[in-house]
Structure 1
Amino acid sequence: MTRALIVIDVQESFRARPLWETTSDLKIADRVNRLVRLFRRANEQVVWVLHSEPGTGDVFDPALGHVRLMEELERADGEPLIHKTSHNAFTTTNLQQLLTERGITDLTVCGIRTEQCVETTTRLAADLGYRVTVAIDATATNPIPHRDAPAGRSVAELLADPRTLPAEEVIRRTEYALAGRFATIATVDQLEAAAGLAA
């Protein structure tokens, strides 16, 4: 076992936000499940990561009950579940220790949000010496408002603003930023094909 799948923040917190309806892939859990099955069949490590912001009173506050895996996902016995409070999955957790103890050298990363927690984790993992693959179509994100846009706007106002960066463009830019520098970019189909499995 030298590989691990890192599933980042595929949690009910996001579904509890009004912005969820704008998410690039409302069925992201389906592709994540395909990756999880792929890694389990190969007897490779699966690590689940949840984002937590205790005491904030928002959807990432564990007290509200949303900081849990999406209901379509099921963690198997022995698969680590770690809670982070930073954007990347390393800084506020024991993830690196866990991977080192298991002799993991190669990571496949997926989850929410593409350009935030997934990309930040990928960059740090690469700097730490891991070989990283981003399963790009097993990531999801939302449109991003322009930096000068007023706070507190509705979803409709966000989408109507021509300065808003569409989710698909966010993902495309992340691919360009990571490919060849910090990670290999692959689809779930490509990873299944590499393992000799039909999509």
Structure 2
Amino acid sequence: MTTLPDRSRTALLVIDVQNGVVAGAHRRDEVVANIAVLVDRARAEGIPVVWVQHSDENLPRGSEDWKYVAELSRRDSEPLVHKNYGDSFEGTDLEEVLAGAGVGRLVVSGAESDACIRSTIHGAFARGYDVTLVGDAHTAGDKSAWGAPPPEQVIAHMNLYWRWQEAPGRTAGVAETKAVTFEGPAPAEKP
């Protein structure tokens, strides 16, 4: 369980599902549809949905590429965290948003698996959060031209190694969209 005192709530994090980020992403439409299912379920269960939106010189704030994909819409009442680094906690108010909502457990979805998702789940875990990665609700573009494995292998590796993360007083895990629960620790899905 989380090491954060008096923080028993769960939040769904939706990270960087922006036009310019997921345009050529692996299984883009399926991943976006799964995230939409998670958002609808979280809202129906009264679970906070926190949106994270990246900007930098290649993704300028206000540009079409910077905007969230049309299939996902944030409600005005749902927090939007603007970031400039991979880890959604760095240089943002994410910690304050989560603390204010009493959140100690995160269910994480979005893009990109090998960048902002990886940085954020590690950043959250190191800060004391329980972290569930939604295995079929994160994606990445193809970076094999720069020596990375193909995106399907990157995603599979993320799902494999996150199942085995351990730290005192915290839980990590991976669940598919249909198996995600917003209460309690991550389901034990070990290969």
Structure 1 length-normalised TM: 0.79
Other structure's SS at 2:141 match: coil
CA distance in 2, matches of 1:45, 1:92: 21
Deviations 1:80-113 (A, max 9, x none): 1111000011002100111111110110000011
Could you say if the C-alpha distance between residues 145 and 94 of structure 1 is closer, same or farther in structure 2, counting changes exceeding 3 Å?
Answer: same
Structure with bigger helix share is: 1
Deviations 1:122-157 (A, max 9, x none): 0110111111100010001122236xx5xxxxxxxx
Could you say if the C-alpha distance between residues 142 and 121 of structure 1 is closer, same or farther in structure 2, counting changes exceeding 3 Å?
Answer: same
AA partner of residue 106 (structure 1): R
Deviation at 1:120, TM superposition (A): 0.9
Deviation at 1:118, TM superposition (A): 0.8
CA distance in 2, matches of 1:140, 1:29: 9
CA distance in 2, matches of 1:93, 1:7: 15
Give the equivalent residue in structure 2 for 1:41: 44
The answer to which of 104-113 and 136-145 deviates more is: 136-145
> CA contact under 8 A between 1:136 and 1:187: conserved in structure 2?
yes
CA distance in 1, matches of 2:46, 2:61: 31
Deviation at 1:192, TM superposition (A): 6.3
Give the equivalent residue in structure 1 for 2:67: 68
Deviations 1:48-87 (A, max 9, x none): 011101xx2x3x1125332111001111131011110000
Give the equivalent residue in structure 1 for 2:152: 168
Give the equivalent residue in structure 1 for 2:188: none
Deviation at 1:166, TM superposition (A): 1.2
Q: How high is the sequence identity, in percent, across the aligned residues?
A: 29
Other structure's SS at 1:38 match: helix
AA partner of residue 31 (structure 1): N
Deviation at 1:178, TM superposition (A): 1.6
Give the equivalent residue in structure 1 for 2:11: 4
Q: Residue 185 in 1 paired to residue 167 in 2?
A: no
Q: 2:34 aligns with which of 31, 35, 43?
A: 31
Could you say if the C-alpha distance between residues 194 and 5 of structure 1 is closer, same or farther in structure 2, counting changes exceeding 3 Å?
Answer: closer
Deviation at 1:26, TM superposition (A): 1.9
Q: Which has the higher contact order (CA 8 A, sep 6+)?
A: 2
Could you say if the C-alpha distance between residues 88 and 164 of structure 1 is closer, same or farther in structure 2, counting changes exceeding 3 Å?
Answer: closer
After TM superposition, the structure 1 = structure 2 runs for residues 1-199 of structure 1, keeping only pairs within 5 Å, are 2-14=9-21, 20=24, 23-27=25-29, 28-53=31-56, 56=57, 58=58, 60-145=59-144, 149=146, 165-181=149-165, 183-191=172-180
AA partner of residue 139 (structure 2): A
Give the equivalent residue in structure 1 for 2:4: none
Unmatched runs of 5 consecutive residues or more in structure 1? 150-162
Deviations 1:156-191 (A, max 9, x none): xxxxxxx65111110111122222216200100111
> CA contact under 8 A between 1:143 and 1:170: conserved in structure 2?
no
Aligned length: 171
